[in-house]
Amino acid sequence: MQKIRQSRTNETLVGMTSVRWLADLCGLPSADDFPSLASALLDDARIAGAVTAYLGWWIRHPDPLSRFERTTRQLPKMPDAALVAALLKMGYDGLLYQQEGEIVGHVFFQRHGADLCAFSSSIGERYRGGKRWAIFSIDFVAFASQIPDVTRARVGGGNHPITRGLVALLKPHVSGLGWRVSRDGWVYFSARNKAGLPRA
C-alpha cells in the first residue's frame, strides 16, 4: 500500500456533501476513513505521486477477462501518469480511502452517460473484517446519488455476494428516499428527490 499524507475530512469530496449519511441510515458501524475522489487527489502536488502509483498498480493488475482488462489491453505502453490521465478521459475515477497516511482501499467506477458503475473494490488486508466492504459500497451509492445528472448506479452484478449484501442493506430504506433497487444491483435515483438528500 502507498503512504500518502492524510487529507482533511472537509477536503475529501470537494464540492460534494458528505457521503457517510447513507451508511448511517443503513445502520452500519462508524468508520473514521472517509473517501477522497482520486481525480481530486491527483491535483494535490503533495500526494499526487503516491496516488498515481496506487492507481497505476491497479490499472496494471486488472481482473483477468474483465471488461476493464480488455479496455486496458488495447492501450499502448505508457508511464503511470499518462495511463491514469488516459483512463480519466474515458470516464474512469474512484473513491480512495486513507488511514494514518496509507491508502487502505478503493471503489473504482466508470461513468456511462447517466450511469455510474463500480467495477473494482478492495480493502487492504490489515483493514478487512467488520463492515468496511459495506461502508465503502454504500458510500459509492451515496456519492452517485449526489451527482445531479446520474440517474442510476451499480455495485457488482448478478448473484455476487457484495451485490446481494448491498441490496439487502438498501432495500428497507429506498422507498423513503424515493429510490428503487433491483436484485442485480442497480440503484435507481428519483430526480425529484435528489435535491432533498441529507446534507453534511
pLDDT per position as a tens digit, 30-83 = 888 889 999 999 998 888 999 999 999 998 888 777 778 777 777 778 899 999
Averaged pLDDT score across all residues of the chain = 83
Strands 35-37 and 152-155: unpaired
Residues near 100 by Cβ (< 8 Å), separated by ≥ 6?
6
- Please report the pLDDT score of residue 39 as a whole number: 95
C-alpha torsion sign, points 69, 57, 165, 143: negative
Residue 10 backbone phi and psi in degrees, to 5: -75, -5
The candidate with the shortest Cα–Cα distance to 106, out of 24, 33, 17, 166, is 33
Q: Find the Cα–Cα–Cα–Cα dihedral 135, 140, 141, 144, rounded to 10°.
A: 160
- Rounded to an integer, the average pLDDT of 4-32 is 66
- The pLDDT-based confidence of 197 (bands split at 50, 70, 90) is low
Per CATH, the number for 9-194 is 3.40.630
Q: How many CB atoms lie within 10 A of CB 188?
A: 13
**Residue 94 neighbours by CB under 8 Å, 6+ apart:** 37, 38, 55, 106, 107, 108, 109, 120
| Confidence (pLDDT) at 128 | 76
User: Residue 179 carries which side chain, given as an amino acid letter?
Assistant: W
Q: What is the pLDDT of residue 130?
A: 72
pLDDT tens-place string over residues 108-123: 999 999 999 998 888 8
Domain boundaries, the chain: 9-194
